[in-house]
Structure 1
Amino acid sequence: MHTPSRPEDLDHPEQLWARAAIMAMVDAACSSGTEFALDEDGLWCHSTGGDGWWRLSVFDGGRAVFCGQDPDGSHTHVGDEQIDFLAGGPDWLPWELLRDDARGNLFGFVYWWENGAWHRIPYPEEVREDGLDGAAPWVGSHEEFLGLAASSFDAPHVHERALAGAVDRFAALVRDGRADADAVTALLTEPGAEGRPAPRIDVALDIATRAGILA
């Protein structure tokens, strides 16, 4: 990933949506206090560690927005002026939601997908980092996605490689349109994930269904 990040660092929105949905599904099923949410505004991670966050929203017509911040890596001001991460954005952006985020100085990056490519504002020369890699390294790396999803099982470290393999197989089913309730159950009860409270499979199925990743 470039520093600062560039639009070409993000994979296709369909890939990002599937990854985000799988991470949310696993975390909600296996954690007592998940940081993920799925609502009318998109898929969220409210805390990526150190109060970082991201949100992925998809819209009709093949459009999408990915935004967020990493407090340790996002450069949000030049001098005393807050950077306008929405400058020149297209009319279809969810402006009310994004302006509310901007008023709270919550942005370190805003990318939008239109006409087959990601876009962002031209950064001022002073911006050395936008925090995308810190807040969401998985947007350009399948391996990062697998590691993050596997870690949500909260299983012993020795099992994370095997669990990452299970996540990879499930992601392939999603990509091929063949993921179903049985596949969700198999993933969440994968050998190596034992020794924890039983996963909340009903919660996982609810997220997977609402996110549209099941056949």
Structure 2
Amino acid sequence: MSQDNSTAESPDVGFRMAATIATAESDITADHVVDQVVDELLALIPDGFDRLEAAVAMTVTDETAQVIVSDGERAAQVPLSRRAVELLREARHLAATAAEGPWWRLLAAVSTTGPARVEYDYGTEPFPDHQLFPPQAYLADLLEYPRERVPVWLAAYIGHGDRQVRTPSAAFAAAHADTPAVPAGEGLPPLPVLWARWAVISAAFVAVKSPLGPRVTSALGWFEGRTRSGSTLHRLPHGKAVLSGGIWNAPELDAVYNGGASMPEFYRGAPDWVADPVLSPRAANGLMSFCYWWDGNAWYRGESPDANVVQDALPGVWNDDAVYDVLTQVFDGNASSWLTALIAAAETGTVTRTLLSRSLVGADIDLDSAYFQLILAGVAE
């Protein structure tokens, strides 16, 4: 349930000036104003309810709020009062003097029977889609309240400028510029082996019905890690492939968006088949931090880091031991003695249903879906 209280009007500059003057005269602090916000939120709780939770996102030009009241059994949505909005704007303005700068979201939980809890969101994690404003709102806020540093994901959101986009036309033109690529470095196994290991790990996560972990189709592997790093592996005809993705808060991107460095030339020396349709979605958002391509014989890269630096963005495909460790973790340490044979069979494309059933053990295993992952990957008989 969401309630959007966005306002189309610009912030009241006169109000902000008046608040500043009042602050100077009476030494009002942000904490004092937040206490008033809590009182205002308590006043919003209707009869019959005893608690309220609010998530308010705000910039100098926009605001949106989700306010839910409940009694343990029922829940209802209520609008945020205009007085609460005014107090929140004042509190945010006063908080601008803090080292972190003004918060982007305020999360509050108040109750008629206990103490209030207020938390401030400075963008360490991406905001929920329903509380993410257009880039212009954050740019306006940064003009009003300059910051030394903005979270990498937010800096990319407002300033990527399509610098990681590579259309097929641009890829064709760049591929004939005679710019050399370099080997991808240590760590990445040959494509057939990497693909087989990816598929086995995918099958294991599917077997235990986990929403996490990697997945495969006949030509695509994708992975999103717990640390928000992730990657895609696109297989192309004639034994080629593109592996790209991003490390969460990659130092290279931090240097670009917060330090004014040039965007790395991830596609330097890349062939014309390295283009948007086979790149990680992170490229469209300016959050890709590596791109490698397999030409049928070896992995190559432009100005991406050495492959051993991006391990967090891939499932455990680096060697057989890494695959084995992931599989045992998926099954809570209940490792079957057949796991080693399963990994070897996947790498030679000879997995059978019987071998899989002996390898993946435990209660409520979805063997059929797991085997289908291996069929799609082409590593099952």
TM range (shorter): 0.7 to 0.9
Q: Paired residue for 2:36?
A: none
For residues 168-200 of structure 1, the C-alpha deviation after alignment (integer angstroms, 9 at most, x for no partner) is: 2101122344311111111112xxxx4xx4111
Q: Paired residue for 2:185?
A: 7
Question: Which amino acid in the other structure matches residue 356 of structure 2?
Answer: V
Instruction: Label 1:115 to 1:199 Cα distance change in 2 as closer, same or farther (>3 A).
Output: closer
CA distance in 2, matches of 1:129, 1:212: 25
Deviation (angstroms), 1:105 = 2.2
CA distance in 2, matches of 1:84, 1:96: 18
CA distance in 1, matches of 2:241, 2:307: 22
How do 1:91-110 and structure 2 match up within 5 A? 91-98=272-279, 100-110=281-291
Using the TM superposition, name which of 129-138 and 27-36 deviates more: 129-138
Verify: 1:75 aligned to 2:256, yes or no: no
Question: Which amino acid in the other structure matches residue 379 of structure 2?
Answer: I
Stretches of structure 1 that go unaligned for 5 or more consecutive residues are none
- Give the % identical residues: 23
Across the two proteins, how many residue pairs are aligned to each other? 195
- Structure 1 length-normalised TM: 0.77
1:20–1:43 contact (8 Å) kept in structure 2: yes
Verify: 1:55 aligned to 2:256, yes or no: no
1:54–1:135 contact (8 Å) kept in structure 2: yes
How do 1:1-215 and structure 2 match up within 5 A? 6-39=184-217, 42-45=220-223, 47-73=224-250, 75-76=252-253, 77-78=255-256, 79-80=259-260, 81-98=262-279, 100-122=281-303, 131-136=309-314, 138-153=316-331, 155=332, 157=333, 159=334, 162-163=335-336, 165-189=337-361, 194=362, 197-215=363-381
CA distance in 2, matches of 1:13, 1:93: 16
Cα-Cα RMSD:
2.7
Max Rg structure: 2
2:349–2:379 contact (8 Å) kept in structure 1: yes
- Structure 2 length-normalised TM: 0.46
CA distance in 2, matches of 1:137, 1:6: 17
Deviation (angstroms), 1:146 = 1.5
Flag the structure with more relative contact order, 1 or 2, with Cα contacts below 8 A and sequence separation at least 6: 1
CA distance in 2, matches of 1:169, 1:207: 18
